[in-house]
Structure 1
Amino acid sequence: MGYNICMISDFFYPNVGGVESHIFQLSLCLIELGHSVTIVTHAYGDRKGVRYITKGIKTYYLPFKPVYNQAILPSFILTIPLLRNIFIREQIEIVHAHGAFSVIGNQALFHAIFLNPDLKTVFTDHSLFGFADTSAIITNKVLQIALWNVDSAICVSHTGKENTVLRGKVKPELIYVIPNAVDTRVFYPHLSCDSGGGRIGLVVMSRLVYRKGIDILGKIMVPLCEKYPNVHFHIGGDGPKMVLLEEITEKNNLQDRVFFYGSVKHERVRDILVKGNVFLNMSLTEAFCTAIVEAACCGLHVVSTRVGGVPEVLPPEVMTLAPVDPSLYLKAVESVLDKYLTGDILDREQTSRLASGIYKWKDMAQRTQVVYDNIFRRDADCEGSRKHDYPGNPKRSLYNIGVFFGKIAYIIALWNMLLILICDKLFPKETIDTCPKLLTKKKL
């Protein structure tokens, strides 16, 4: 019999992004492995209440509105009763939160041990964060509070694992590295497709924001167009840096060589990728970058900045790395274009075959299942369990988070216990109906 798993995050469909796609695809594969998956997120517009999506995945859209970057405001009074009801009703055994910026995910991890000491908790970190600025310090302290008693964590790259160990103060042996994957049924090359008329297509597909290195793109567009008359840019995505790119295009009369597609739905991403020959990723920080895997699966050679976990993602045959410097990145792109013109790089079919065999959702789901199995196999008192650090005294671990934040965490824990006690009196567990599970036959 499989596990009853609750995937919880502020980031889920109908919003589109890497975390949203990860939760959805992982849930589908876990269901095929015989597990039961329930997804919890906040409301998106009129989408509230309970919805059933592909393969009968029950999704709870809680009545909270996002405040900033699709995340809700912390609200212990409102989230504890709702999460308690869901965990009891769905007979949840594992609470799996996604994203360090997910408020509802962090709250669920913190609430879990108070709601039910037998609940297992898993956290997947999809991003890298710094340590120096004020926002990073606060974010890291909040993460430490959320992960104070987590059973295991998952990172999408080895660089991300090191980052999470330092930020979240989690034992390294409790953190697993499981990368993202790509659905190769959606991303595949169009072997008969070319840019047309001898054109060379350079594709950019990302949010047009500072963190994605769009300023670097703005500095290399004109030199590349001047040196290579057949180069054309295909830029998908939207954001505040769109204005910068449009100004550069108009100022240099490049309207016939630079094409903007705006915000692109996920199902249309491949249609734009196959228009190009080379994919450009200029991110200033990145834990994994699923976009470069999608591009490689479509047969494009990738030129990326050497940041975060990107060097771990693809082999050098299909990816060229460059420093975060406009002039050096420009030289790397020129080198790849010269190789393309002389036929010294892999063709579309070879690139796709090499990239598509590396990351598969079935493999990632099986590796995630191993994480779950190890949690249940590991006794609470044995070495390797996070609870081993503070046997029988969880409040001491909260207090040791820091002189200031430790006291805040201590107060929140006491407040949690008081609210749960009130909920137990007003709504006893025995009065909450449990839901039957829709399990599919194991296929993987």
Structure 2
Amino acid sequence: MKVLHLISGGDTGGAKTHIINLCSKLKNLVDLKIICFMYGPFYEEVKNASIDIDVIPQRSRFDLSVVDRLYNLIEEQGYDIIHCHGARANFIGMFLKRKLKDKPFITTIHSDFDLDFQDVFYKRIIFSYLNKISLKRFDYFISVGSGLISKIKSLGVNEKRIFLLYNGFDFDKQISFEEKDSFLSKYMDKSVYQSKTIVGNLSRLYKVKGLDVFIKAANLVVKDNPDVIFLIGGSGPQKEFLQNMINEFKLNDRVFLLGNIKNPYDFFNAIDINVISSYSETFPYSILEATALEKCCVSSKVGSVPDLIEDGENGFLFEVGDYKELARKIETLLNSRELITAFGKRLSQKAKEKFSADTMAKMQFDIYKKIMKKR
């Protein structure tokens, strides 16, 4: 079976991590290749993972000359399935499908497509609209977690054309990280974090990530807990807004924006409690990355997160946007170091059992076989 994956190449979030983790295992089950449309960190990371990848550069998002080049490649190499990831690949896939009517076209939905471009007005108006038009042309859909199935059905898609696939993590790979003191000393004096419990949130600085919820919760927690600090790792368009919130609450010595974090494990190694405060998610990779280091997690009840986190058993969940509930659950953990450790171990154990990259690749392979059988 030969499968061609199409993805923008400029991806930095969960879609990037998903396709690398998936294809690093899937390449042992199918003959696969990735095509992206720009050079950059994604391309280099995929190459370093020994996954077959090439670039067909686009001059702009609307440069459709790549369609003919892809068509020729698919015909020459005899690919059986074309599998797209993300809005740009979906848009190109829509035009490519017109020329390859006998090939099944699949798209993986990594996030709520109505929220993907929320932070930039013109992108929200234009790209979200074009993406939804493109999505309606696909034959099959893969939902990353159960939380997006109803969203896909809202496009008028029959449920029989939707397949469920959970994000998976390669727990066998070697993880490297900087020592805690070395990492944190880049951002603050040792006296700021020494003997403190550290609560962290690693995500892109976008509205959908709910970092305003995180800061509001921090504002409540610090009032009665002098031995805790809060770290936000990531970059994005909300940086100024979030810094203004921190200033307004007078939290400059308790809440810190660290900026872009190149190695997520540096961040997770340094913190004690991992928080996901998003308004919408599918299944955030940051939970799985943190569980590799046995970090406990408090998350908003979004997407398929409840399939991993059982509230009160191996972590805590809170209702979307409820910063008061988030604050209460952080305080519960601050009052019990034993609970932080126990939750971290239990969560890591469940993640390794049910959310491994090997399991994800096998599920994806089974989906391909079902689709080929239907054809």
What are the superposed Cα offsets for residues 60-100 of structure 1, whole Å, 9 maximum, x if unpaired? 3222145xxxxx22x44x1331111221233211100112x
- Between Structure 1 and Structure 2, how many residues are aligned? 356
Which of 335, 353, 361 is matched with 1:357 structurally? 353
What amino acid sits opposite 2:132 in the alignment? Answer: L
Which of 201, 214, 217 is matched with 1:217 structurally? 214
Name the structure 2 match of 1:7.
5
| 8 Å CA contact 2:5, 2:32 repeated in 1 | yes
What amino acid sits opposite 2:106 in the alignment? Answer: V
Which of 123, 133, 148 is matched with 1:160 structurally? 148
Name the structure 2 match of 1:417.
none
Larger radius of gyration: 1
| 8 Å CA contact 2:308, 2:351 repeated in 1 | no
- Bigger Cα displacement from structure 2, 291-300 vs 224-233: 291-300
- State the shift of 1:263 in Å: 0.6
| 8 Å CA contact 2:278, 2:302 repeated in 1 | yes
Quick one: structure 1 residues 136 and 319, their matched pair in 2 at CA, closer, same or farther if it must change by over 3 Å? farther
| Unmatched 5+ stretches in structure 1 | 67-71, 380-444
Q: Give the TM-score, by structure 2 length.
A: 0.82
Quick one: structure 1 residues 90 and 105, their matched pair in 2 at CA, closer, same or farther if it must change by over 3 Å? farther
| 8 Å CA contact 1:110, 1:147 repeated in 2 | no
Quick one: structure 1 residues 256 and 16, their matched pair in 2 at CA, closer, same or farther if it must change by over 3 Å? same
What amino acid sits opposite 2:89 in the alignment? Answer: I
SS in structure 2 opposite 1:243?
helix
What RMSD, in angstroms, separates the aligned Cα atoms of the two structures? 3.4
| 8 Å CA contact 1:106, 1:143 repeated in 2 | no
What are the superposed Cα offsets for residues 194-213 of structure 1, whole Å, 9 maximum, x if unpaired? 99754211011001221111
Distance 1:46 1:284 in 2: 28
Name the structure 2 match of 1:313.
308
Distance 2:325 2:331 in 1: 10
Quick one: structure 1 residues 236 and 129, their matched pair in 2 at CA, closer, same or farther if it must change by over 3 Å? same
What amino acid sits opposite 1:36 in the alignment? Answer: D
What are the superposed Cα offsets for residues 100-145 of structure 1, whole Å, 9 maximum, x if unpaired? xx22333224423x333332221111112459x9958984675354
What amino acid sits opposite 1:53 in the alignment? Answer: K
Percent identical among aligned pairs is 22
Distance 1:123 1:47 in 2: 19
SS in structure 2 opposite 1:181?
coil
Name the structure 2 match of 1:116.
100
Quick one: structure 1 residues 269 and 249, their matched pair in 2 at CA, closer, same or farther if it must change by over 3 Å? same
Name the structure 2 match of 1:128.
112
SS in structure 2 opposite 1:329?
helix
Distance 1:16 1:373 in 2: 30
Distance 2:46 2:147 in 1: 36
Quick one: structure 1 residues 355 and 280, their matched pair in 2 at CA, closer, same or farther if it must change by over 3 Å? same
Name the structure 2 match of 1:400.
none
Quick one: structure 1 residues 79 and 51, their matched pair in 2 at CA, closer, same or farther if it must change by over 3 Å? farther
- State the shift of 1:28 in Å: 1.8
Which of 45, 51, 54 is matched with 1:57 structurally? 51
SS in structure 2 opposite 1:370?
helix
Name the structure 1 match of 2:324.
327
Distance 1:374 1:79 in 2: 29
- State the shift of 1:25 in Å: 2.0
SS in structure 1 opposite 2:154?
helix
- State the shift of 1:58 in Å: 3.3
- State the shift of 1:360 in Å: 0.9
Q: Give the TM-score, by structure 1 length.
A: 0.70
Distance 1:174 1:301 in 2: 36
2:368 aligned with 1:372: yes
Trace 1:206-285 onto structure 2 (pairs within 5 A).
206-249=203-246, 254-265=251-262, 268-285=263-280
Name the structure 1 match of 2:79.
92
